[in-house]
Amino acid sequence: MLQGITRTGPFEWEVPIGYVGGMRVPGRFFLSDQLAETLEPGAVQQLANVATMPGIVKNSLAMPDIHWGYGFPIGGVAAFGMDEGVISPGGVGFDINCGVRILSTPLTVKDLSKKHELIEDLFTAVPTGVGAKSTLRLEPKELSGMLTSGARWAVEHGYGIEEDIRHCEEQGAMANADPSAVSQKARLRGMPQSGTLGAGNHFLELQVVREIYDLEAARAFGISAGQVCIMIHCGSRGLGHQVCTDHLKILEGATKKYGMNLPDRQLACAPLSSPEGRAYFGAMAASANYAWANRQVIMHMVRGVFARMFSIGHEEMHLIYDVAHNVAKFEEHQIDGRRRKVCVHRKGATRAFGPGSPDLPAEYATTGQPVIIPGSMGTASYLLHGTDLAMDRTFGSTCHGAGRVMSRTKAKKQLSGHEVKEALAREGILIRAHHNGAIADEAPDVYKPSDEVVRVVHEAGISRRVARFVPLGVIKG
């Protein structure tokens, strides 16, 4: 382990105040000995940098998929007090409400005799890759509807069913979204991209439930061994990216205006109560809503393909849940013996609310919130549930994925997209992408093993395993 960091539990480490100058609270991260071998000093530095921000409460946290990002580390979680705290786009990221959803089908593997055809149909139905344009023809008024109402806008326009909304974090729309804080530039980027998957690590994956760890929770989530499910991973596209860029510029000025001294310009922030801070929150919430509408529209396209090919109804394919990975939200947490409203930033981290938490639908009230952890391409994904311990230790948060360990430059040099594709095909996993470079870049070897990351959050108790899924086919963005 890096010098100056102390172990405080089997999977817990503390970065003491003083690790970098100006820290207001200690840093804390969750990691196994195996994962500690690939911990980057830059990521710990970023975790410590976050601890210097005004109004930070309790700890600057990182989940076991921690890695070097910009501003906050990826896997970073931090909460800020309402009076003295700040909000920062560096704690959310460019891809606002990048997130993931999983839907179940009534099918099992033996129903997939035409898997190749299914993958091709999904690839045709869902626009993917750089420069992809939507099949939706949005009017400006409709875009405003998406920004305000999120997944509800989509359902009201025929893209989905009522139950879908209850099975989204925040019911698929954050309150207090402010479309007027979303620039014309962001709107221009967002109009042709709603209902597109995007590129990079975004994907659509056909999976099968391979293992059940918690039968009761699995029953509540509506899944059983051998069942075919579909996972969708994407975010707010160019609209969210532009909102981040626009407000980063405004908040850079605000950082100076409010006399704040920060170790990284990407941590630019403003007091939560300031006009600049409120404008960013409103625009960010609107972008998050756009992302929920986006995933809802994509899921509708997926349901359409399955309905045609297998003669099943849309209502037979249940959205289990939808979670955000990159977002800042106002939440109430028990801090130092009292309930406090704070602004929780999660950057590459998943909300993992425990049993009985508000915002959970009645059917998940006793299990805790479903938590979806996608594996890297070709590796296992997991469904977990949130816990009381997460509420106590991590502001109800857990990991979001596997976390990269190999740079993209190295991946391109060492791995051939064609070979990766062939190797996965031998394991029965079909990959469909616009070009092989995208496959090499997201190959299983470039990520930490998802099994180990999930084992850490399970053992540490900040979420608990419910089921494990293995991939059958992947549409790469």
Partner 1 sequence: MHLIPDVMSFEELEHTADIRVRVKAGSLEDLFSEAARALMVIMYGVADPGILRRHVEVEGRDIISLMHAFLSEVLFVSEVDDLVVSGAEVRLSGTGLEGDLFGEPFSREKHLSGMEVKGISFSGLSIASGNHTYTLEVTFDV
Q: Active-site positions?
A: 400
3-class DSSP assignment, residue 14: strand
The one-letter amino acid at 222: G
Which one of residues 104, 266, 387, 398 is an interface residue with partner 1 (CB under 8 A)?
266
Measured CA to CA, the distance from residue 461 to residue 146 in angstroms comes to 36
> Residue 362: is it exposed, middle or buried by C-beta count within 10 angstroms (0-12/13-18/19+)?
exposed
In the list 12, 111, 121, 264, the residue contacting partner 1 (rule: CB under 8 A) is 264
260, 312, 335, 405: which one contacts partner 1 (CB under 8 A)? Answer: 405
Query: Which of 410, 425, 326, 284 is closest to 76 using CA atoms?
Result: 326
Q: Is 253 in the site for partner 1 (CB under 8 A)?
A: yes
The length of the chain in residues reads 477
Binding segment for partner 1 (CB under 8 A), chosen from 109-117, 192-200, 308-316, 384-392, is 192-200
Q: Does 471 bind partner 1 (CB under 8 A)?
A: no
Q: Name residues contacting partner 1, limited to 86-145 (CB under 8 A).
A: 90, 93-95, 129-131
> Is residue 71 within 8 Å of residue 90, measured between CB atoms?
yes
Which member of 406, 423, 445, 461 binds partner 1 (CB under 8 A)? 406
By CB under 8 A, residue 198 contacts partner 1: yes
Tell me: does residue 245 bind partner 1 (CB under 8 A). Answer: yes
Q: Which is nearer to partner 1, 85 or 127 (CB)?
A: 127
If binding is defined by CB under 8 A, does position 261 make contact with partner 1? no
Residue 469's Cβ-count burial label (10 Å; 0-12, 13-18, 19+) is buried
> Binding to partner 1 by residue 252, rule CB under 8 A?
yes
In angstroms, the Cα distances linking 159 to 32, 44, 164, 294, 310 are: 42, 42, 10, 10, 19
CA dihedral 24, 30, 35, 37 (to 10 degrees): 30
Q: How far is the CB of 44 from partner 1 (least distance, A)?
A: 13
188 binds partner 1 (CB under 8 A): yes
Q: Smallest distance from the beta carbon of 34 to partner 1, in angstroms?
A: 17
Q: Does 67 bind partner 1 (CB under 8 A)?
A: yes
**Nearest CB to partner 1, comparing residues 348 and 471:** 348
Residue 341 CA: distances (Å) to CA of 79, 107, 331: 9, 43, 6
The region of 66-74, 111-119, 273-281, 364-372 touching partner 1 under the rule CB under 8 A is 66-74
CB of 414 to partner 1, least distance (A): 13
In the set 14, 22, 32, 70, which binds partner 1 (CB under 8 A)? 70
For residue 56, the surrounding DSSP H or E stretch is: strand 56-70
Q: How far apart are CA 62 and CA 53, in angstroms?
A: 15
Q: Is 249 in the site for partner 1 (CB under 8 A)?
A: yes
Distance in Å, CB of 23 to partner 1, minimum: 18
Measure the CA–CA gap between 399 and 75, rounded to whole angstroms. 6
Integer Cα distance of 154 and 136 in angstroms: 11
Residues near partner 1 (CB under 8 A) are 40, 67-71, 74, 90, 93-95, 129-131, 185, 188-189, 198-200, 238, 241-242, 244-245, 248-249, 252-253, 264-266, 268, 404-410, 434-435, 437-438, 441, 477
